[in-house]
Amino acid sequence: MSKLNAKEYKRFEDIKHIREDGSEYWLARELSGELDYTQWRNFSRVLDKARLACKNSGFDMEDHFVEVSKMVEMPSKPRKDRDEIGFAEVSKTKSIIDYELSRYACYLIVQNGDPRKEVIAFGQTYFAIQTRRQEVADYFNQLDEDNKRLVIRGNIKQWNQMLAEAARNAGLITNEEYAIFQNAGYRGLYGGLDVDDIHARKGLKDKDKILDFMGSEELAANLFRITQTESKLKRESIQGAQAATATHYTVGKKVRQTITDLGGTMPENLPVPYKGISQVEREQIAELKRKSKKKPLMLDE
């Protein structure tokens, strides 16, 4: 994760608000600008994913995403005035939705933001928090299978970014080198099968991603592979594309051996979910929106 410099620290501090009781919050529309989202509709997609992640983490969304309404001025338009010659400027206002965000809400937003934006990495550092792991784990065990998949898949996305950074630091430069590196991890874990082999075995379409069609058990095995490879690359300061690729294969193979020792099912033999993660996510967000609909706020004239 990127180191936070003074300038980036200040950009998030400058938009922080403090309530009378001393609690802090950030406004979603201000945060979207600092995260380089020029259009609200693009940021709102990230916001939806963050709210869903909050729900699946066992927290009350109303405590972290407080919906508020505010009036903004619309661009003035000239109109012909009946009483005077010429045009008069007509100013209009409209009500827009915003959110007061807790630090945790902001953290979930940057977790689900565009990883290509450098400011997203800075935001992840700034809003990083220590979570109550046991409480989250207890709640996770109560989730149904699809929601477990959503949670683990979200974790994998973040850890894959960290693994990619560790691989670059180890000396992997080209996309081809990284593709070979990724395949090595899968071959270790899946008994010699690479990405294409797993894709074919699952009977997926060309556009489908294999991680999106894994159950929670299979996803968890891959998350363990990813986290342990990232840790080993950094801990042992492994250098060179060949050495890093061999490390990924070895870690994947050891995870497979652990599954064997525990009497578990090999990942390639686990059932393939009927729905992809993207479909589950869309359905969950739609349901979330239906449940959280509120009547329009009454505004003073």
Residues 149-186 pLDDT 10s: 988 898 898 889 999 999 999 999 999 999 999 999 99
In this structure, the number of other CB atoms found within 10 A of the CB of residue 42 comes to 12
What residues does each domain of the chain span? 1-76+90-142, 144-301
103, exposed or middle or buried, with CB in 10 Å at 0-12, 13-18, 19+? middle
Q: How far is CA 262 from the centre of its chain?
A: 31
Quote the pLDDT of residue 111: 84
Q: Rounded to the nearest 10 degrees, how much is the dihedral formed by the CA atoms of 36, 42, 46, 47?
A: 100
In the block, tokens 């149904």 appear at 144
Residues 245-267 pLDDT 10s: 999 999 999 999 999 999 999 99
**Band (123; pLDDT cuts 50, 70, 90):** confident
Q: Which of 156, 180, 158 is nearest to 240 (CA)?
A: 180
In order of 7, 101, 145, the CA distances from 116 in angstroms are 19, 23, 30
113, exposed or middle or buried, with CB in 10 Å at 0-12, 13-18, 19+? buried
Which tokens in the block code for residue 273? Answer: 């979910």
Give the chain's length. 301
Do the beta carbons of residue 260 and residue 183 sit within 8 Å?
no
Number of H helices, E strands in the chain: 13, 6
Residues 203-245 pLDDT 10s: 999 999 999 999 999 999 999 999 999 999 999 999 999 999 9
Q: Which of 95, 102, 67 is nearest to 294 (CA)?
A: 67
pTM of the model: 0.62
Which tokens in the block code for residue 268? Answer: 């390639």
Give the list of residues 6+ apart from residue 207 with CB closer than 8 angstroms, or none.
none
* Rounded Cα gap, residues 93 and 300, in angstroms: 13
